[in-house]
Structure 1
């Protein structure tokens, strides 16, 4: 009885959820739906307890144990008790195998995607540009003997140029979006290069020289 009532309650709640989409019925659906939820939740708990009790009376451990037996095609609780471990172990092994296969498919897809990206200049250099910018910029700043000032923007990044080295193992990012002040207070635009290791995800070397990039 509780199971039937909880099913009706859930169906009613879903109906009210649909009515919430319409302005004219929104208020009615909210309050009656809330009341239905308050009534349905205890009924669902009672229904679950009743289903478990019925399964135990039939000779099973609980409702889930009974469903497992049905999945195995066994209706006799005594027979199921003898073969339970075997079936559960088998299903667990199958589940682990499926998870392993799914994980391998994911790994293969990622490798294939990375291999394709590696052959595309824009894809490969863009892939590491954010990490390289974060790691390289502070080291470029350390080259300043006095004050420095960045002039990059969203449309003009710190490292607008790049050069791929060693078949993609490293990338040299280049830019000139910084000015450094000398000891006399004069500002000079500086060109900087940063060698970024794509495997280790770390800076290899930084070079800073006076003058802007040659356009």
Structure 2
């Protein structure tokens, strides 16, 4: 009779722990998890599995004690969080996180709001300074031929390479590689508009006799339209 009564009480405690877990989750996620763990320790069905996991005979009382400790730890955390939330609302804080952060700094709601405004102002200033520095660097690069050409080189290759290929009367063969870039010299076509002339000599055009002859090429690239506006080639090397 005592065993049956003990199991009934255990199942009632399981139900209580489960209900508590649902209530705890709204105030403390960890508290809710601890309440669920307490329900597991209260449950008679889990004792056999836990004993097998422990590889020894664990007294039933040990499970009950562990369940009670876990249960009260979880409910304690939930109650503490609930009280903190209540205090946060009463003192005029927007949320529990702000209340806890303000407590660490020893500030009330009004002072903490000013503190946040100050932090936001510092971040805005940092952002503005970073944008100004970036704009200054971009402006300097725009005036420097090498920097401006490097910045637009990928787009220039994508536009100029097929344009140069179209100059071939027969077949063509590119000879560029890691140590032989497609462009080896630069010049301004029109500095005001930012147009660049890219020069290179890493292509061979097939002539009427079937021989491949090295050619130089010049491609005027417009960074605004991303187009090769003019292209020319002649036999020889740079």
After TM superposition, the score normalised by the length of structure 1 is 0.58
CA distance in 2, matches of 1:192, 1:158: 10
Secondary structure in 2 matching 1:73: coil
Aligned: 1:73 with 2:107: yes
After TM superposition, the score normalised by the length of structure 2 is 0.53
Aligned: 1:135 with 2:169: no
Partner of 1:8: none
C-alpha contact 1:149 1:180 (8 A) present in aligned 2: yes
How far apart are residue 174 of structure 1 and its match? 0.7
Partner of 2:16: none
C-alpha contact 1:163 1:171 (8 A) present in aligned 2: yes
Which of 170, 177, 183 is the matching residue for 2:202?
A: 177
C-alpha contact 2:141 2:147 (8 A) present in aligned 1: yes
Structure 1 residues 49 and 213: alpha-carbon distance in aligned structure 2, compared to 1, 3 A threshold: farther
Question: Gaps (5+ residues) in structure 1?
Answer: 1-41, 75-79
Question: Gaps (5+ residues) in structure 2?
Answer: 1-69
Secondary structure in 1 matching 2:191: helix
5 Å-filtered alignment, 1:76-155, equals 97-155=121-179
Q: Count residues in correspondence.
A: 160
Aligned: 1:209 with 2:233: yes
5 Å-filtered alignment, 1:51-70, equals 51-58=80-87, 60=89, 63-67=96-100, 70=103
How far apart are residue 183 of structure 1 and its match? 4.5
Structure 1 residues 159 and 59: alpha-carbon distance in aligned structure 2, compared to 1, 3 A threshold: closer
CA distance in 1, matches of 2:130, 2:234: 47
How far apart are residue 180 of structure 1 and its match? 1.6
State the superposition RMSD in angstroms: 3.5
How far apart are residue 189 of structure 1 and its match? 2.1
C-alpha contact 2:201 2:215 (8 A) present in aligned 1: yes
Structure 1 residues 189 and 51: alpha-carbon distance in aligned structure 2, compared to 1, 3 A threshold: farther
Q: Deviations over 1:21-56 (max 9, x none)?
A: xxxxxxxxxxxxxxxxxxxxx9xxx59745522303
How far apart are residue 116 of structure 1 and its match? 3.0
